Amino acid sequence: MRFSANLGFLWTDRPLPDAIRAAGAAGFDAVELHWPYDVPAADVAAALRETGLPCLGLNTRRGDVAGGENGLAALSGREAEARAAIDEALAYGAEIGAGMVHVMAGFAEGPEAHATFIANLAYACDRAVLRGMGILIEPLNRYDARGYFLRTTGQATAIMDEVGHDALRLMFDCYHVQLMEGDLTHRLRDLLPRIGHIQFASVPDRGAPDHGEVDFNYLFRVIERLGYDRPLGAEYKPGGDTDATLAWLRAYRESGAGPAA
C-alpha cells in the first residue's frame, strides 16, 4: 500500500515546497494539494522533481472564502467564475504534473444547482482530456460542510452517469462517507470501478488514522485486496506537529499490517 500526503492539512506550518520535502523525508509516496495558487507553480514543480514525488491532484478555488463559499461549480449564475477556476486549476496542475483536479461544487441545492453542476463538469472533463488529466468530485459530510451540494456517493454516481464522461471519477473520502453513509467496506467494493482517489482520516475527529470508530488496520487491507494500487490520501488534521502524528505510517511500513491499533 502506498500513501499520499495531503498538504492542505499536513505540514501547513511550512512553505509549500518545504512541505513537499517533508512529505518525502517522512516516507510518503506522493502528495496532493488543496489551493496552491499563491505559490508559483515552478517552485512546486521544482520541489516535486527534487523529491521524486508525484502530485496526484489539487482543488479548484472555493470562491469568496471570507464570505463562506466552498466551491463554485453548482452555483447558478456563477458559471464564468466556475469555469475560470477550472481552467486555472487545470493549467496549474499541468505545470506541476498533477493527474486530477477536484471540482468543488459549493453550497447550493435544487434543480438549477444540479443543472449548473452538470454543465460545469462537462466543461471540466472536456478541458481535462486535452491536458491528459482527470476530474474528481467529492461528497462532503453535513457536519463539516452543511449545505454543500454534493453529499453522498449515490448522488455523485448519478451525476457521473448524467455527465457521461470517462474523465470524471469519484473521490472517496472515508471520513466523509463514514459520517454520511457508513458501510465503508461494501461501498468501496461496489464503487471501486468509479473511484479515482481514496482519502482517509479518523472518525469523528478527522485526526490521524490510529484511533476512532474506523479500524484502518482492517480497511487498508480491504482496499489492498480489492486491487486498488494507487496511493491513499492522508487528509487528516494533525492538531500540531505533523511529524509527531506519523506513528501509523511507520507502523505500516514496518509491518505491512496497517496503522497501530
Active site residues: 138, 235
Query: How many angstroms separate the first and last alpha carbons of the chain?
Result: 17
User: What is the C-alpha separation between 54 and 95, in angstroms, rounded?
Assistant: 12
Q: Do residues 37 and 16 make contact, with C-beta atoms less than 8 angstroms apart?
A: no
How far from chain centre, in Å, is Cα 237?
Answer: 14
Tell me which DSSP letter residue 33 carries: -
Q: Do residues 196 and 160 make contact, with C-beta atoms less than 8 angstroms apart?
A: no
Nearest residue to 201 (alpha-carbon basis) of 222, 217, 216, 181 = 216
User: What is the C-alpha separation between 107 and 148, in angstroms, rounded?
Assistant: 4
Q: What are phi and psi of 71, to 5 degrees?
A: 125, 160
Tell me which DSSP letter residue 54 carries: P
Q: Which residues pair with 5 in a beta bridge?
A: 31, 234
**H or E segment and range at residue 89:** helix 79-96
**Number of CB atoms found within 10 A of residue 126's CB:** 12
User: What is the C-alpha separation between 247 and 208, in angstroms, rounded?
Assistant: 9
